[in-house]
Structure 1
Amino acid sequence: MSAKRYMISGGGTGGHIYPAIAIAEELKERHPDAEFLFVGAKDKMEMTKVPEAGFEIEGLWISGIQRKLTLSNLMFPFKLMSSMLKARTLIKKFKPNVVVGTGGFASGPLLKMASILKIPTLIQEQNAYAGITNKWLAKEAHSICVAYEGMDKFFPKEKIVLTGNPIRKDLLKVRSKKEAGLKHFQLDPNKKTLLIVGGSLGSQRINELIASQLSLFEAGNLQVLWQCGKLYYDRYVSKATESIKVLEFISKMDLAYAVADVIISRAGAGAVSELSLVGKPVLFIPSPNVAEDHQTQNAKSIEDKQAAIMLKESDLDVKFEPVIKNLINDIDLQKSLSKNILTLARPLATKSIADEVERIENEVK
């Protein structure tokens, strides 16, 4: 019997890449002899992140459509045609059993071509508001794995499977890692810890906000783990003190979540899924600068269940100080938010998606 072969595409942001890698790792664990080929967009972060995870990747000449008339938009039809042709060549050569897409530009041409060539496809949509690529692919997909209820407004109902988003396995035992986290970040066990994460590159608006509130945090006897991001580290590293830890990037996110008493975060789908599993009180500040404002939709779906607090960027100047003070000081509110967000966790999401990959693989044989 020949080895199973899977093609996987997802990229542009960590929110598409890390779920794709998690699915591949779960399938690899089940089928050690399986072969994998990732397909990404040239010059995007997947071209480095996927090989770092131990998988091969091929790049397509593809990018998204900008909201205004640009040279890039005029080139889009040529890029799409070029990517479709290359996707066809890659599929014919690799001969995958199933093709999986987790969103991002490159998954469009790959999954569209797989459908034309009658190869089963699975889409994984991370957000509460479906992305343009996945909406385009939905009609021909065999299965659509989603993380939120009510996604039949975007996709054919009969194809939807509610699985949740794939998350890193090291987050499954966060509650037992507090001591290790305090040691790793050199924190005081007698102080409350506020964790701020604005995404891997960082958020200008959140960083400006935190910089303006440091005296408030110190007056409240808080210690702060502040991931300001690669783009902003040089600007804010001078703000570091014994109780304000300014970090470019946090590689040990499990330990950061373990020590946090309260968390301030963007509301990307991956972050929301991780924080549901972690079960700590969260203040979401969604980025308004993303397609279809999907971070606001993600955060609102959690806030509607009384499982987190959401503040829009436009409300920060007026509302942030009273909201964060209340969140840090109100123990009953913290317990309520933690309890409610834990009910939304789907720790078996990666397993459920791999089950679905195997189901459509066996069905089409």
Structure 2
Amino acid sequence: GGTGGHIFPAIAIANALRALEPSIEILFVGAEGKMEMEKVPAAGYNIEGLWISGLQRKFTLSNLLFPFKVISSLLRARKILRNFKPNAAIGTGGFASGPMLRVAANKGIVTLIQEQNSYPGITNKILSKKVNKICVAYSGMEKYFPKEKILLTGNPVRQDILSFEGKRERGLEAFGLRSDKKIILVIGGSLGARTINESIINCLETFAQNNIQLVWQTGKGFYETAKQATAKYENKGIKAFDFIQKMDHAYAVADMVISRAGASSVSELCLVKKPCILIPSPNVAEDHQTKNAMALVTYNAAVLIKDADARQILCKKALALINDPEQCYKLSENIARLAFHDSANVIANEILSLINSSK
């Protein structure tokens, strides 16, 4: 966990399992103090926390504590497994996945990991040697994982995203927008994205002058700044939100999307078939967001702007794209071809079949 990109797929898989087996018992395990500790209970599931975090790339006190956190988490994972006695353990990446899946695999419990990115993180690379099955979202992953364990499923996304059709009217009403003006949706990821946010602040005047409306998810940290900056443009349909609960409505109203290239965001964009500008975060392991974005750019399914260039060119690029219906149409047709429509269900069925064959 730690970010929406690890949490939402996990919740989608849990919901699919519950739909297939209503009597199933599901327990989430996350990292203490991270976003999952509030999002998972809100989705109706119990969660236990581990004292774990990632290694920082620079020297920090947190890094000194890391070995102790790993030992503490392995012991806690043993206790959780002893008490809950699961038939299977599923990891969707994130800090808690490593200790939980390692202990589960050592105990002979059925294990499955779901790798969301086109370039896997170190935890999943290590776990891949021990787990029973690896569900992936991109072809060509045998470069990193044992070929015989791989199942190409795509990334599970939130259920409401799958049925966003016909929600445009409700969305326009909810966001207070006009139907006769173009709308750009900006998503900085569940924690926000400083470069995107600062670039958008520079675009507000341009958007207002060109009759472009804006639905802008800023993340909590930037919300107050954005709120002040958008105040004078409210009547022009330029709106900032710290977190958008109803993303289906946001996608339904959008003519174009500006987003980071986290795995979940990319999967959602494929499903909702929207032309998009991707600005990969440079602050992620192995630069995996650039690799996710390139998997789309290769098929002319997205436009990529480097984080370092965004402040200078995002405004101009966004304006040019939203006023080019032919290019928007091409991008939306191409991105739709890369969508997986039933990922959570496919993964849930695979888990149940692994459990049945292990009995």
Q: State whether TM-score is above 0.5.
A: yes
Whether 1:231 and 2:225 are equivalent positions in the alignment is no
Deviates most, 44-53 or 310-319: 310-319
Give the corresponding residue for 1:263.
Answer: 257
Q: 1:301 offset after TM fit, Å? A: 0.7
Q: Deviations over 1:5-61 (max 9, x none)?
A: xxxxxx111111111111111111111111111111112121221111111111112
In the other structure, the counterpart of 2:321 is 327
Give the equivalent residue in structure 1 for 2:8.
Answer: 18
2:107 to 112, 117, 124: 117
Please list the CA deviations of residues 97-152 of structure 1 after superposition, one character each: whole Å capped at 9, or x if unmatched.
11100011111111100111111100001111101111110001100001111111
CA-atom RMSD, angstroms? 1.3
Residues 273, 345 of structure 1: 8 Å contact kept: yes
- In the other structure, the counterpart of 1:155 is 145
Question: Does the 8 Å CA contact 2:200/2:315 hold for their aligned counterparts?
Answer: no
Distance 1:200 1:49 in 2: 11
**Which letter does structure 2 place at the counterpart of 1:335?**
Y
How far, CA to CA, are the matches of 1:110 and 1:75 in structure 2? 19
**1:80 lines up with 2:70 in the alignment:** yes
Aligned mate of 1:280, from 267, 270, 274: 274
User: Pairwise mapping of residues 137-286 of structure 1 onto structure 2 (< 5 A)?
Assistant: 137-238=127-228, 239-240=230-231, 241-242=234-235, 243-286=237-280
The alpha carbon displacement at 1:197 in A equals 1.0
- Whether 2:290 is the aligned partner of 1:296: answer yes
Q: Does the 8 A contact of 1:267 with 1:285 survive in 2?
A: yes
Separation in 1, partners of 2:51, 2:250 = 37
1:172 & 1:262 partners in 2: Cα distance? 18
Tell me the CA shift for residue 164 of structure 1.
0.5
Query: Are 1:108 and 2:98 matched, yes or no?
Result: yes
Aligned to 1:43: 33
Mind listing any 5+ residue stretches in structure 2 that lack a counterpart? none
Q: Alpha carbons of 1:321 and 1:62: their partners in 2 closer, same or farther (altered >3 Å)? A: closer
Q: Which one is further off, 311-320 or 102-111? A: 311-320
Q: CA deviation at 1:206?
A: 1.0
| Larger relative contact order (Cα-Cα within 8 Å, sequence gap ≥ 6) | 2
Contact 2:195-2:311 within 8 A present in 1 as well: no
SS where residue 165 of structure 2 aligns?
helix
Assess, with a 3 A threshold, how the Cα gap between structure 1 residues 248 and 74 changes in structure 2: closer, same or farther: closer
Superposed structure 1 runs of 4+ greater than 4 Å apart:
none
15-24 vs 321-330, greater mean Cα deviation: 321-330
Q: Is the contact between residue 40 and residue 46 of structure 1 (CA under 8 Å) also seen in structure 2?
A: yes
The offset of 1:175, in angstroms, is 2.6
**Secondary structure of residue in 2 paired with 1:175:** coil
CA displacement, residues 182-219 of structure 1 (integer Å, 9 cap, x when unaligned): 11111111111111111223221111111111121122
Instruction: Please state whether the residue corresponding to 1:213 is helix, strand or coil.
Output: helix
Aligned to 1:7: none
Which residue in 2 is equivalent to 1:4?
Answer: none
Distance 2:311 2:99 in 1: 43
Indicate conservation of the 8 Å contact 1:229/1:248, yes or no.
yes
Equivalent residues of 1:127, 1:147 under 8 A apart? yes
Aligned mates of 2:267, 2:209 — CA distance in 1 = 32
For these two proteins, the number of residue pairs brought into alignment is 355
Distance 1:66 1:168 in 2: 30
- The whole-number CA distance in structure 1 between the counterparts of 2:217 and 2:62 is 33
CA contact (8 A) 1:195 1:256 kept: yes
Q: Normalising by structure 1, report the TM-score.
A: 0.94
Q: Give the secondary-structure state (helix, strand or coil) at the position aligned to 1:255.
A: helix
> Which shows bigger deviation, 114-123 or 313-322?
313-322
In structure 2, what is the Cα distance between the partners aligned to 1:247 and 1:44? 21
Q: CA deviation at 1:71?
A: 2.8
Give the match's secondary structure for 1:189: coil
Match of 2:339 in 1: 345
C-alpha distance in structure 2 between counterparts of 1:171 and 1:323, whole Å: 26
Q: Distance in 2 between matches of 1:150 and 1:234?
A: 43
Aligned to 2:128, the other structure's residue is in SS state helix
Structural mapping, 1:53-92, within 5 Å: 53-92=43-82
- TM-score under structure 2 length normalisation: 0.96
**SS at 1:27's partner residue?**
helix
* Contact 1:167 1:347 survives alignment (8 Å): no
Classify 1:149/1:48 alpha carbon distance in 2 versus 1 (closer, same or farther; 3 Å): same
The percentage of counterpart residues that share the same residue type is 55
